[in-house]
Amino acid sequence: MHNPVTPPTVQPKTAKEALEKFTRIVPDFPKPGIVFEDLTPVLADPDCYRVLVHDLADACRDAGADLIGGLDARGFLLGSAVAHELGVGVLAVRKGGKLPPPVHQVHYDLEYGSATLEIPASGIPLDGKRIILIDDVLATGGTLRASQELLEKAGAHVVGLAVVLEVEGLHGRDKLRDLPLYVVAKGDSRSLAQLGVEPKETASGVTVSSHE
């Protein structure tokens, strides 16, 4: 069973309201004991999508970003729209094997196994660029941390993180304490530029390389 999503009759005034009313809650997916929060109805509704993108853009506006980094895959839907609103470019951080060489790669550990992220190693001048990373959900924090490592090894400077939802029980933010983190669902009125950072912890299980 899952909660029904009623088509909106009144436009949501805030992104937090849009999430509370129209996120599809699916228990026991992808396995028993897990509650899956599906953002598809939120993104499919034009008013919900608009306030969500505007909320993220406002959080990022004063951070001085040159690029928005959208994480594969739902981070593309959010990151590209935020970049458009801010008047900056968007960089897609892709899963391994999706880009032609040369690429910068990062290999990182998952709970069971490992994964790879990639960005182009040519054609995009990243040295010194200020980048904000955007994704839909902060879970364990591994993908955001690996993306930060990848971009900084390529010469960029990651200045903040923004996500829509946070699975607090997985303690993903513990891996990301050296960066300001904005979570839409928390309804925080502060922007990334106003949010503080916590003492940096050393990342583990991350290997960065370049391949011609």
Q: Catalytic residue numbers?
A: 74, 111
SS3 state of residue 57: helix
Contact 8, 22 (CB under 8 A): yes
Bridge partners of 165, per DSSP, are: 137
Pairing of strands 24-27, 35-38: antiparallel
Backbone angles phi, psi at 51, to 5 degrees: -70, -30
Judge whether 164 and 19 are in contact, CB under 8 Å.
Answer: yes
Cα–Cα nearest to 180, from 91, 79, 43, 65: 65
CB 147 within 8 A of CB 118: no
Per-residue b or e along 148-187, where b marks 16 or more CB atoms closer than 10 Å to that residue's CB? bbbbebbebebbbbbbbbbeeeeebbebbeebbbbbbbee
Q: What are phi and psi of 109, to 5 degrees?
A: -85, 140
